[in-house]
Structure 1
Amino acid sequence: MPFISLGLSPDLAQSALEQGYTQATPIQSAAIPAILQGNDVLATAQTGSGKTASFCLPLLQQWLESPRAMLRQPRALILLPTRELAVQVGGILQDLAQSLPRKLKVAVVYGGVSINPQMMALRGGADIIVATPGRLLDLEDRNALRLSSIKTLVLDEADRLLDQGFADELSSVLERLPPARQNLLFSATFPAEVGALANKVLNQPQRIAIEQSAATAPDIRQRAIEVDAGRRTMLLRHLLATHDWDRVLVFVASRQAADRVADKLQRNGVSAAALHGDCSQSQRGQALADLKTGRLRVLVATDVAARGIDIARLPLVVNYDLPRSPADYTHRIGRTGRAGASGEAISFVSADCAAHFKLIEKRQQLRAPRERIAGFEPLETAAPAVSLADPDGNGGIKGKRKSKKDKLREAAALQQQAG
């Protein structure tokens, strides 16, 4: 569906076309008219479906239709869980507004960097604010911005906002916003916590759920390679050497693992960098820029750092460490196969995490055939589950975990023996 038929002005529809938005995706076709009508919206759709443009375009339309003010007063606030996602959304807004008859001022604010340049940038106001919750509150506390003029609130990646412990900050932001406003909540997954947030924030929302079907599902080939945990880096190097992937995003479980894997790849002639919460903003920005331009071949990242990253035509995602939850699996592999392109997702499955990967498959309703690569066949086997009721293995309840009371009793007994 062409964008002009969704209620966008000819100028904005042409600007979207210049940025490569030729036809609206299903989520865009459903969300844009609903937002322009002033409805609260609760929208869920899979990663890579075009959710960002679903709210950026109508926000720009509303801004174009608003009266000009001597001092820019922000009319829209977009809250996001990570600095990378904030920068990305701010960039999309600026790109879409390039050829519009009015000059847009977007303030992108996030923590982890000095607050002073952001305070300076807010002098003279802004039209749209893109922010992480904590830094937004800091700036308002310092009177660098006011939220009293906000007409529309967008909560993007709502599931991750809650996962990352922003619940208290969100409550503080909501208390400072005008009660009469439009609320838009976008999320790739819809756990119970997101439902509770929606009930708290939204007022008679229009519910939009784009179910994944054969027509809308991203074209991602999902593979599972069995390998011993200690040989994953060697296998990764082998795969990189035998395939022509120009850019690869590798997910690991910790900051230490990101540094370690990136360092080993570098020492073996692979251009690689780590992306995690301990990286400075300049390091994070440079790593992403280098990957997008091809100066970097492999980016080794944690979930928090890589959430929401949009890298055009990224051919491969590797789960070096399996994600903690099936929802995280969805977000990870959704970095590839975006905007109609095809992609590939490889998960390394060692003996100790085979059961966890089966759970992911069950929750995702998928089945990835197990593969073995010559020379990297696994030798390890999963340790048998130990029964606490029968630790000698003569029966009992398999895999039962100790309760807190059991642990406290054992600790007290050990103290008595030590005394």
Structure 2
Amino acid sequence: MAIPFSNALAQELLETYGSPLYVYQAERLDTTIAEITQAIPYPKTKFHFASVTNGNLALLKRFLKAGWGLHANTPGDVYLGLHAGFEPHQIVYSGSNLSREDFEQVFDWGIRRINLDSVSQVQHCCELAQVPIELGLRLNLPEITGESRIGVHPDEFRDAIAVSKFPITGLHFYRGTGTNATEAFTQVIDTVINVAQQLPDWRVLDFGGGFGYPYRKDGARFDWQEFGTVLSEKLSDVELIIEPGRAAIAESGCLLAKVVSVKWQGEKQIVGVDTSIANLAVLAVHGGYREIVSWKEGAYYLTDICGNTTYSRDYLGKSCQLPALSVGDCVAILDTGAYGYAMSSHFLHRFRPAEVLLENQIHRLIRDREDYSVLLGGQR
């Protein structure tokens, strides 16, 4: 178990900013960004961070500083990206089911590169766009994308071209969220390229999206070096866009919480903490396992870590191996940099924690802790 920092620092953070608390390690994030960037030697590669996983401005700025662009799925992603300092030309928008208002808003903000997932969306886009748009199609090919609601089948490419007043220059491949199997990408490169060549004006390959992260350390781990080598060997003369999200930021974050209750059911330790699953990813969507660590020493016991709601499924960790804990101890839920705060909620009317950035052992607040007044926001 990799404990991210000292118990003394963990206690200092909680005393300063309150508990629970999201903590991000700047050096870990910067290292991961560099490792991914260096893994793909293809010279025409651009990296765009998938901000759906984490929209904190301080963290987005680190991607910008590293030379990355932004990958947006919603107008809100664009809004945050612009406020973080990204220029409109540094943002790629891959959307689904955009309304008229969505299109008009992203156009007003200067977004000019958009990947769409239906012929009707292409038509709608072209009816509204008053300036040239770099259009791409999101690919739906069940043999490599799986059954998905997203994307345009190659059989529809001709229809999309017919309704578009702009050249369709891009193809966007999305394997599916959280894919750790490297071969799920490397084995389909030829197929994706062959499909892309059916677009007469093709010159941009947007190859995902969907890269996983090994929450279980003994599980499959995506091999960026292998992926980069194989992909680089296959491409020439086209622009390549890579959109890591979870893979880039998950490891940099953890959620600190304090123990507020301990009881025993036979040989099992039942530990209650001052946070809940409302501050983690939706488990049914983004996986139900996060490693949980403690700074305590001693014999390990089978332990359930339970949240501070009456929801019967409010388990942050089940059947963990942890020492005997006491009220006031601190635990860290690891790998919450992606889909942590981004998917947190006011479930059962609890407010959301603060976010802190830790750099060179110096910490600073990057998002305020909410209070109960947020529950009244917008109500009349």
TM-score range, shorter chain: 0.3 to 0.5
Larger radius of gyration: 1
**Highest RCO, 1 vs 2 (Cα 8 Å, sep ≥ 6):** 2
Q: TM-score under structure 2 normalisation?
A: 0.33
Q: TM-score under structure 1 normalisation?
A: 0.30
